[in-house]
Amino acid sequence: MTTAETSVLPSVPGVPSEGALAGVKVLDLMWVVAGPTATRAMADFGATVIRVESANRIETARGIGPFHNNEQGPDHSGLFGNMNINKLGLSLNLATAEARDVLLDLIKWCDVLSESFSPRAMRAWGMDYESLREIKPDLIMLSTCLFGQAGPLSRVAGFGTMGSAIGGYIALAGNPGEAPIGPYSAYTDYLSPRFSLPTIMAALDHRDRTGEGLYIDQAQAESSLHFMSAALLDYTINGRVPQLVGNADPDMAPHGCYRASGDDDWVAIAVRNDADWANLCSAMGMGELTCDDRFADLSARKANEDELNEIVGGWTADRGALEVEYMLQAFGVPAHAVSNSAASADDPQMLHRGHFIRMEHPVHGETAFEAAKGQMSETPPSYRSAAPSIGRDNDLVLREILGYDDERIAQLAIADALT
> Which amino acids are annotated catalytic?
189
CA distances (Å), 183 to each of 2, 67, 248, 257, 268, in order? 39, 23, 15, 15, 16
**Contact between residue 254 and residue 306 where contact means Cβ atoms under 8 Å apart:** no
Nearest-angstrom CA–CA distance, 397 and 11: 12
CA distances (Å), 412 to each of 55, 103, 275, 419, in order? 15, 12, 72, 10
Identity of residue 312: V
Nearest-angstrom CA–CA distance, 62 and 310: 45
Nearest-angstrom CA–CA distance, 335 and 208: 47
Identity of residue 154: S
**Contact between residue 50 and residue 28 where contact means Cβ atoms under 8 Å apart:** yes
H or E element, residue 218: strand 214-219
Identity of residue 171: A
Nearest-angstrom CA–CA distance, 247 and 267: 12
Helical spans, DSSP H, in 358-402: 394-395
Nearest Cα neighbor of 139 from 206, 89, 91 is: 206
Nearest-angstrom CA–CA distance, 316 and 325: 10
H or E element, residue 140: strand 140-145
- Other C-beta atoms closer than 10 Å to the C-beta of 121 total 17
Nearest Cα neighbor of 35 from 156, 188, 157 is: 188
Check residue 222 and report its DSSP letter.
H
Nearest Cα neighbor of 283 from 213, 205, 335, 343 is: 335
3-state class (DSSP) for residue 403: coil
Check residue 408 and report its DSSP letter.
H
